[in-house]
Structures are given as C-alpha cells and as structure tokens.
Amino acid sequence: MPKIGMEPIRRKALTDAAIEAIGAHGSMAVTMSDIAGRAGVSPALAHHYFGSKDRLITESIRALLRDLRSDAVAALSTARSPRTRLSAIVAASFSQKQFSDEVVAAWLAFYVDAQRAPEIRRLLTVYARRLHSNLMSGLRPLAGERDAQRIAEGAAAMIDGLYIRKALNADPARHDAAALVEDHIETQLLEIRGRTL
C-alpha cells in the first residue's frame, strides 16, 4: 500500500530524473527504465504516475518552467526600478540552477524535440512569451514601446544563444553570459539616451 503523501515526492523525483537523463544523453533518447532507475523507483511506478515517457517529458518541461518562473519572481521581488527589473530577469536566466550543464542540455533537447511535438512547442512558446513580457516590463518605461520591443528581442536571442553555446561547450562562464546580456541592454539604452539629448 503506497504511503500517503508520497505521490508528489515521487513525481518530482521522476521529473528531476528525466531532466538529468536527458541532460546526460543530450537527447530525448532515454528510456522510462533509465529515468526510473535515476529516481530510485520501478519503471512500473513511473508509468503509473505519468502513463508514458512523452507525458513524463512534458511534465519535466513544465517543472523547468515552474522553477524558472519561481526564480524570476524571487529576483523581481527585490527590484526597485525598471532597470533593476531587467537585471533581475537576466540574473534569474543565468542562475546557477538554470545554467547547470544538465538543465542547459535538457533545454536544448526540448528545443530539438519541439520540431515534432506540438505540446513541447507550445510550452517553449509560453517560455518565450514570458521572457519577452518580463523584459518588456523593465524596458518599456526606459525606451518606449518600439525600442523596447527591439531590445527585448535582442536580449532574449542572446539568452537563448548563450544556452546553445553552453550546451556545445563553447560557453562563457555563467557570470560572463549575464554580463554579455547586461552589456547589450545597457549599450542600447545609452544609445537611446544619446538620441534624446
């Protein structure tokens, strides 16, 4: 008889194990047995909780999105100005947890799989919209709508691109990656200030 309250703990262990397995393999070519073994449960129990590997993978992406959102909310809670909001979003994107080797490799595998899996594509679209919205909330008061859109697109592309470089082992360190995005934002804002003087 299962212990009361174990389901959320085991589900989290399985989603964490899926991210770890995908990160280690660098692709979705993992088995339910591999994931279950990493989580310390039987494959039958993994199937019981998720029904299929695809559902477990989808829930793992949701877990990553929840973690990223939680990190962003925590970082934004200390921001006191539009500019510090931008720095908070950049810092959350490159936090130690978000920029770990296995998480970065998992994100890259999810992007590849999104080409064939509509649900994964939808979840990655949610991520992209949330990042854009968070960047715009800081940029709009500093740059106006049109320039804010352009700067946000560039910053988001840099964040995603630096993740790809990390996955390919051609990455700057985590703090260097954040500094590159910060430099892009600050350079663009300085150019706008120069235009308005």
What predicted TM-score, i.e. pTM, was given to this entire model?
0.85
What tokens does 153 get? 């697109």
Q: pLDDT tens for residues 112-150?
A: 888 888 999 999 999 999 999 999 999 999 999 999 999
Q: Compute the distance between CA of residue 158 and CA of residue 190 in angstroms, rounded to an integer.
A: 18
If one counts every other C-beta atom within 10 angstroms of the C-beta of residue 25, the result is 15
**121, 38 contact by CB (below 8 A):** no
DSSP state at residue 81:
S
165 closest CA partner among 70, 94, 88, 90: 94
pLDDT tens track for 40-96: 999 998 989 999 888 999 999 999 999 999 999 999 999 999 999 999 999 999 888
Q: What is the gyration radius of the CA atoms in the chain, in angstroms?
A: 19
Q: Which helix (H) or strand (E) holds 188?
A: helix 174-196
